[in-house]
């Protein structure tokens, strides 16, 4: 009898934790601007301590809540971090802030700077300021962001000069959330369907996901009560 009771507790805990994980996943889901593609001759824009890299962007959607940035050679030590400040168009008023340090940095490539969603962001211009703050130990190499040709874009690397680099963009992508978990799920299915054949489009994926959840729940109930 004790064996079965222990099994029941394990299964119930599994269902609870699975629900929490799914809730967190859809709660923090963001979708990068897929229209942005970086091609052509790139160059490295190195970070200089406490001297921000600044670029303005125009949000394509509401609920602007994340910036995905291609960082290279960033191996943070204790106290070492890169801070993103999201300011208004004038670069004066800070509206949101995010950072990456040795505890939150994941891997080379696109690093996700997440911040509270700016609900009414569509078609508004924001000033992004990336600042490298050193810790106790000086890194062997300066981290950098790649920059690519981009008509109409510009940025400033204040560590080198205040000269604006015109028609070039740092390799970054703004990302956006949705108003509800259901909309997040629907958008996720649409993204997954983009490069799949017709029989694997959104309706099929939604059905498959729903049946999988129902099957897991049904099997768990059977184990508990049989």
pLDDT in tens, 34-83: 656 667 778 889 999 999 999 999 999 899 999 988 888 887 778 889 99
pLDDT in tens, 201-218: 555 555 655 666 666 666
* More reliable by pLDDT, 8 or 181: 8
Would you state the pLDDT for residue 5?
64
The residue extents of the domains of the chain are 2-29+180-225, 32-176
Would you state the pLDDT for residue 199?
47
Residue 159 pLDDT grade (very low, low, confident, very high; cuts 50, 70, 90): very high
Residue 110 pLDDT grade (very low, low, confident, very high; cuts 50, 70, 90): confident
- pLDDT above 60 (res 200): no
Residue 19 pLDDT grade (very low, low, confident, very high; cuts 50, 70, 90): low
Classify domain 32-176 by CATH number.
Answer: 2.60.120
Are residues 200 and 193 in contact, defined by beta-carbon separation less than 8 angstroms? yes
Would you state the pLDDT for residue 1?
45
Q: What is the pTM of this model?
A: 0.69
Would you state the pLDDT for residue 56?
96
Would you state the pLDDT for residue 218?
64
Percent of the chain with pLDDT over 90: 32
Residue 23 pLDDT grade (very low, low, confident, very high; cuts 50, 70, 90): low
- Among 36-50, 118-132, 180-194, 203-217, which is the least confidently predicted range? 180-194
Residue 224 pLDDT grade (very low, low, confident, very high; cuts 50, 70, 90): low
- pLDDT above 70 (res 14): no
- pLDDT above 50 (res 221): yes
């Amino acid at each position: 009898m004790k064996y079965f009771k222990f099994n029941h507790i394990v299964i119930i805990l599994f269902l609870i934790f699975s629900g929490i994980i799914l809730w967190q996943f859809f709660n923090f889901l963001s979708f990068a601007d897929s229209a942005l593609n970086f091609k052509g001759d790139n160059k490295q824009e190195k970070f200089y301590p406490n001297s921000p890299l600044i670029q303005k962007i125009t949000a394509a959607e509401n609920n602007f809540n994340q910036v995905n940035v291609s960082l290279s050679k960033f191996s943070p030590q204790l106290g070492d971090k890169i801070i993103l400040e999201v300011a208004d168009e004038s670069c004066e008023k800070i509206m949101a802030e995010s950072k990456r340090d040795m505890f939150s940095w994941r891997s080379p490539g696109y690093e996700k700077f997440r911040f509270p969603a700016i609900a009414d962001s569509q078609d508004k211009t924001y000033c992004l300021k990336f600042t490298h703050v050193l810790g106790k130990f000086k890194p062997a190499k300066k981290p950098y962001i790649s920059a690519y040709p981009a008509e109409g874009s510009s940025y400033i690397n204040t560590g080198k000069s205040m000269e604006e680099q015109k028609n070039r963009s740092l390799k970054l992508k703004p990302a956006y959330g949705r108003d509800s978990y259901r909309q997040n799920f629907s958008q996720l299915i649409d993204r997954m369907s983009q490069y799949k054949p017709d029989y694997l489009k959104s309706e099929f994926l939604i059905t498959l996901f729903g049946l999988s959840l129902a099957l897991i729940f049904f099997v768990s109930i059977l184990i508990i009560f049989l």
